[in-house]
């Protein structure tokens, strides 16, 4: 399950200042103003199928304070790892596991987890790697979480070297993920995402250096003796120079992309289950360059392509039906970037609308692109994450005076 929002949590911060408000036909989506808590500004970073939203607000003293929204308009502050240090959330699962990071006493970011059912309880530190006989690492980052609560990411030593790690459900101690191909180590590999299905021995997607200064997608599976993990490098498409990885679903399908050289550029790729053959998105509207952003449980993909005058706009791709559809922005000739896709085929994103303003949009094959609007008095808004069922999006919106409030975009009603 893609950790939607480590990659796009900052989208709610990208509000452009505009002078006038443009009128559009809005969807039936309701914007619920969650305010700023006791702080000055706020933005949301994640939301689950129950509409429980997480994010952070900027405290009076300048520190970021993580919050969970359990009921409309009420942001409950989550405890920090160390008093008077900043924390931010990045995702929440349907089971209420909240993932994020906090600064420790030395000002280093550390991966942490909270529980939405016990918001007053302190965060659980996802400890750095500490192999027997070696100096322990100094910081961690969580990059993916699955529905069962398994978390993946990196552990970093004092010299800045990263290694891929898995924190099984409920565990504070990581499992070091090996890279045993051609005798190479796991140095500077990163565990990017983790498949739904198991909280203890899930399939893990990552990226490793290929020994030539380029990246190679890697799939870790618990197929060794006593459930030990082993790594498999994903096959490169014909003519690809190198590839990256983005997401893995419960079926084992992998979303990523590959570079095909200066004359072609980067293309979106979906690998079949268990490290199978890649399918390459040849073009969108006749343009070859694209980047896949998110993939749902059915293997449907959204991302962005580079079109005329290098304007970036969204696309929808279903490799199983060979459906490729460009997602129009809210204003002709403007950029409009996709952010996420739900298991029900809803795509959300952010689009320019004229006058230097930006609005969130939703899109489906049936409805096309629809403006989700802004809070009263505001000119700009942005979405950052989408629930798996497509009912809720998390983000932020300006109100009068260009003050940013956290917002829950509710598509499905009470």
Q: Is 359 among the domain residues?
A: yes
Model confidence pLDDT, tens digit, residues 153-181: 999 999 999 999 999 999 999 999 987 65
* HEC per residue, the chain: CCCCCCCCHHHHHCCCCCCCCCCCCECCCEEEEEECCCCCCEEEEEECCCCCEEEEEECCCCCEEEEEEEECCEEEECCCCCCCCCEEEEEECCCCEEEEEEECCCCCEEEEEEECCCCCCCCEECCCCCCCCCCCCCEEEEEEECCCCCEEEEEECCCCCEEEEEECCCCCCCEECCCCHHHCCCCCCEEEEECCCCCCCCCEEEEEECCCCCEEEEEEECCCHHHCCEEEECCCCCCCCEEEEEEECCCCCEEEEEECCCCCCEEEEEECCCCCCEEECCCECCECCEEEEEECCCCCEEEEEECHHHCEEEEEEECCCCEEEEECCCCCCCCEEEEEECCCCCEEEEEEEECCEEEEEEEECCCEEEECCCCCCCCCEEEEEECCCCCEEEEEEECCCCCEEEEEEECCCC
Q: Is 394 among the domain residues?
A: yes
Model confidence pLDDT, tens digit, residues 285-303: 999 999 999 999 999 999 9
pLDDT band at 23 (very low <50, low <70, confident <90, very high): very low
Please give the average per-residue pLDDT across 28-57, as a whole number: 94
Q: Is 294 among the domain residues?
A: yes
Q: Is 349 among the domain residues?
A: yes
Question: Chain-wide mean pLDDT for the chain?
Answer: 91
Q: How many CB atoms lie within 10 A of CB 132?
A: 4
**CB of 268 closer than 8 Å to CB of 292:** yes
Domain boundary among 96, 123, 150: 123
Domain boundary among 123, 150, 185: 123
pLDDT band at 10 (very low <50, low <70, confident <90, very high): very low
Antiparallel, parallel or unpaired: β 204-209 and 42-47: unpaired
The predicted pLDDT at position 224 comes to 80
In this predicted structure, the answer to whether residue 244 has a pLDDT above a threshold of 50 is: yes
Q: Is 244 among the domain residues?
A: no
Host domain of residue 77: 1-10+30-88+116-123
The predicted pLDDT at position 13 comes to 34
Share of the chain above pLDDT 90, in %: 82
The predicted pLDDT at position 131 comes to 77
- Phi, psi dihedrals of residue 409, rounded to the nearest 5°: -90, 110
CB within 8 Å of 171: residues ≥ 6 apart: none
Q: Is 320 among the domain residues?
A: yes
CB within 8 Å of 353: residues ≥ 6 apart: 22, 24, 330, 331, 334, 359, 371
Provide the token pair at 327: 């997602």
In this predicted structure, the answer to whether residue 205 has a pLDDT above a threshold of 80 is: yes
The predicted pLDDT at position 5 comes to 41
Domain boundary among 76, 98, 123: 123
The predicted pLDDT at position 6 comes to 44
Share of the chain above pLDDT 70, in %: 92
**What gap in Å lies between CA 4 and CA 278, rounded to an integer?**
23
pLDDT band at 225 (very low <50, low <70, confident <90, very high): confident
Q: Is 360 among the domain residues?
A: yes
The predicted pLDDT at position 182 comes to 46
Distance of CA 201 to the CA centre of its chain: 22
Model confidence pLDDT, tens digit, residues 394-404: 999 999 998 99
**CB of 343 closer than 8 Å to CB of 296:** yes
In this predicted structure, the answer to whether residue 325 has a pLDDT above a threshold of 90 is: yes
**What gap in Å lies between CA 178 and CA 183, rounded to an integer?**
10
CATH code, domain with 354: 2.130.10.150
**CB of 396 closer than 8 Å to CB of 12:** yes
The predicted pLDDT at position 20 comes to 26
pLDDT band at 211 (very low <50, low <70, confident <90, very high): confident
Q: Is 146 among the domain residues?
A: no
**CB of 387 closer than 8 Å to CB of 377:** no
Specify the range with the lowest mean pLDDT, choosing from 36-50, 103-117, 121-135.
Answer: 121-135
- How many structural domains comprise the chain? 2
């Amino acid at each position: 399950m893609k950790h939607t929002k480590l990659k796009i949590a900052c989208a709610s911060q990208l509000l452009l200042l505009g002078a006038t408000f443009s009128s559009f036909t809005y969807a039936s989506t309701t914007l619920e103003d969650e305010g700023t808590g006791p702080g000055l500004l706020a933005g949301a970073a994640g939301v689950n199928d129950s509409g429980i939203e997480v994010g952070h607000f900027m405290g009076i003293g300048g520190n970021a304070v993580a919050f969970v929204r359990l009921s409309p308009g009420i942001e409950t502050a989550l405890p920090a790892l160390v008093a008077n240090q900043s924390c931010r959330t990045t995702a929440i699962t349907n089971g209420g596991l909240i993932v994020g990071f906090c600064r420790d006493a030395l000002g280093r970011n550390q991966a942490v987890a909270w529980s939405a059912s016990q918001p007053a309880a302190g965060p659980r530190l996802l400890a750095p790697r500490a192999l027997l006989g070696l100096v322990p690492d100094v910081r961690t980052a969580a990059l993916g979480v699955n529905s069962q609560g398994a978390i993946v990411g990196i552990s970093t030593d004092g010299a800045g070297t990263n290694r891929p790690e898995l924190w099984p459900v409920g565990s504070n101690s990581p499992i070091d993920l090996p890279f045993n191909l051609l005798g190479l180590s796991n140095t500077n590999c990163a565990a990017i995402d983790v498949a739904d299905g198991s909280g203890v021995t899930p399939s893990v997607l990552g990226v490793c250096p290929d020994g030539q200064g380029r990246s190679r997608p890697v799939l870790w599976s618990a197929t060794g003796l006593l459930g030990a993990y082993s790594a498999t490098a994903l096959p490169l498409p014909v003519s690809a120079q190198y590839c990256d990885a983005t997401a893995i679903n419960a079926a084992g399908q992998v979303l990523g992309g590959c570079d095909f050289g200066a004359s072609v550029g980067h293309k979106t790729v979906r690998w079949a289950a268990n490290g199978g053959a890649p399918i390459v998105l040849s073009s969108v509207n006749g343009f070859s360059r694209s980047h896949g952003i998110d993939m749902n449980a059915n293997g449907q993909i959204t991302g962005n392509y580079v079109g005329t005058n290098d304007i970036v706009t969204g696309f929808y791709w279903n490799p199983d039906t060979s459906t490729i559809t460009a997602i129009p922005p809210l204003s002709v000739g403007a950029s409009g970037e996709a952010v996420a896709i739900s298991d029900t085929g809803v795509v959300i994103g952010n689009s320019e609308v004229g006058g230097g303003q930006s609005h969130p949009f939703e899109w489906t094959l049936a409805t096309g692109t629809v403006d989700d609007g802004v809070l009263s008095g505001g000119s700009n808004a942005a979405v950052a994450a989408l629930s798996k069922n497509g009912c809720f999006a998390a983000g932020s919106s300006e109100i009068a005076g260009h003050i940013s409030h956290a917002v829950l975009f509710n598509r499905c009603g009470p």
